[in-house]
Structure 1
Amino acid sequence: MTRSQATCRRLWQAIPPAYRTGHCFTDFWGAYQAVIPEEQHIAAGKETGETAHVERWNNTLRQRLARFVRKTLSFSKSLVMHEACLKIFLHRCNVERAISFRRLHRVG
C-alpha cells in the first residue's frame, strides 16, 4: 500500500460508520488532515504518548494472532476466518479483563 491520500481515504471509508465518530490521534502524515474531519483529528508526536495504547494493542494482536502477520504460515486468505478468530480473541480478552477487574476490586 502507498501512503497516499487515496489510500488513507480508502482506509477511512473501510472503518464502520459507528467507529468513525470518535477522536483520532495520529502522527503528522498530511493525508490524515485531508481525510479525517478536523473536529475529530488530533495530530500528536510519539513523545506525547497519545498513540502508544493503540500501538501496544496492534503489537499484542500481531503477537497473539499470527494470522494477522502476512509473512507467516498461519496467514489465511479467508476473511471469514480472520473475523472469526478476531472475535474469539476479543471475547477471550474481555473475559480475562473482567476476571482481573473482579479480583482486583473483589467484585462478585
Structure 2
Amino acid sequence: MLKELRKLLEPFGIANLFTDDWGAYHRVPLAPNHFVGKRNTQRIERKHLTWRTRIKRLARKTICFSKCEVMHDTVIGLFINRYEFGLEI
C-alpha cells in the first residue's frame, strides 16, 4: 500500500516522507528519504485540522455530509484552490 501511495505522489515531485515515531512504521521498510519527527508531522496535522474545521463534509456526523464522491472531490478541490493558492473559481 505504501508503494502504491509513493507511485501516486511521484508525478507531483513529492519525494520525502515524514512520520512520527509510531511503531508500525518500524515494521515497514521505508526509503532513505524517510524522516521521523514531530516538526513536519505537526504541520500536516495542523493543515488537516484546518480542513476538517472549514470543510464540514469531511466530518461524517454533520448535515453537510454527502455520499457522492464527485461532490466531495469538487468541494475539497475548490477549497484547496482558494485556501492554498488564493484562486477564486
- Secondary structure at the counterpart of residue 86 of structure 2: helix
Does structure 2 retain, via aligned residues, the 8 Å contact 1:33–1:41? no
Bigger Cα Rg? 1
Give the share of equivalent positions with the same residue, in percent: 34
1:18-73 per-residue CA deviation (whole Å, 9 max, x = no partner) reads 258421111122332444633131121x3xx2212101110110011010112222
Gaps of 5+ in 1: 1-8, 97-108
Q: What is residue 25 of structure 1 aligned with on the other side?
A: 18
Q: Could you say what the CA RMSD is over the residues aligned between the two structures, in angstroms?
A: 2.4
Unaligned runs of 5+ in 2: none
TM-score of the two chains, using structure 1 as the length reference? 0.62
Out of 50, 69, 74, which is 1:79 matched to? 69
More displaced stretch, 26-35 vs 81-90: 26-35
The number of residue pairs the alignment matches comes to 83
Q: Which residue of 2 aligns with 1:42?
A: 35
Counterpart CA distance in 1 for 2:23 and 2:13 is 18
